Amino acid sequence: MEDDALLTEQMAYYRAGAAQYDRPYAVYEALQELLAVVDDLPIAGDVLELACGTGQWTPRLAARAQSVTAVDASAEVLALARARTASPTVQFLQADLFQWQPPRRYDTVFFAFWLSHVPPARLPHFWNTVASALAPGGKAIFIDDGPAAAAYEEVLANQPSPAALRRLDDGSQYRIVKVFHDARTLTDDLTMLGWSVHIRTMAGNFIGIAEPPTIP
């Protein structure tokens, strides 16, 4: 697909920048407040965490879950996540989320700041994958940047998908997919795909809870 090169660059960025990944969580109070929101979300049972990164969210999920399976494409960030998370109920897996298919079903599928990295053309397939990973009665819970976050990114034009330019300490530059979803539009899009969804905004971010289409 046209966005393959962009996604390859995105993966390279997160591998190369693993050591810088946690900086925003130390700097921005809004992110700390978002982390605390986990305690108020309907996270239960066996949880699948997509794009777990360095595990900022993983211990908080583990505190509420029976088990957590945390998946990311980058070995570098997974090493940091394992060091952060001591719970015996957490399993880490390295996999490309655009290729990987969950081998079982879960009560909760959680992803934070991942939806904005999925090219629009791949969203229907992504949501189908999430639906297939959910057990009956299960929920998808997701957190991400809203449109206001575009002011803090170097947005690129003329790309195969909405994209931004990120820089690392060594001066290297990488393109990443960055889609700034509007809560109302995302709600409408998911509803058209058959999902039941509620999205609320919080300090420029959004928090979504969705249930997949019911298949007879």
pTM: 0.96
How far apart CA 204 and CA 182 sit, in angstroms, is 10
> For the segment 74-124, what is each residue's pLDDT rounded down to a tens digit?
999 999 999 999 899 999 999 999 999 999 999 999 999 999 999 999 999
Residue 29 confidence (pLDDT): 87
Q: What is the percent of the chain with per-residue pLDDT over 90, rounded to a whole number?
A: 92
Average per-residue pLDDT for the chain: 95
Q: Which residues pair with 141 in a beta bridge?
A: 110, 209
How much is the pLDDT for 214?
81
Q: Determine the pLDDT at residue 2.
A: 80
Instruction: Please write the tens of the pLDDT for every residue from 42-59.
Output: 999 999 999 999 999 999
Buried b (16+ CB within 10 A) or exposed e, 181-213: bebeebbebbeebebebebeeeeebbbbbbbbe
pLDDT attached to residue 163: 97
**Residues 114, 176: contact at Cβ < 8 Å?**
no
Predicted pLDDT at 216: 42
Whether residue 31 contacts residue 205, with contact meaning beta carbons closer than 8 Å, is answered with no
Q: What is the CA radius of gyration of the chain?
A: 16
* Angular region, 182: left φ>0, alpha ψ -120 to 50, beta rest: beta
All residues at 6 or more sequence positions from 84 whose CB lies less than 8 Å from its CB, including other chains: 54, 55, 56, 58, 59
* CA gap 48, 93 in Å, rounded: 11
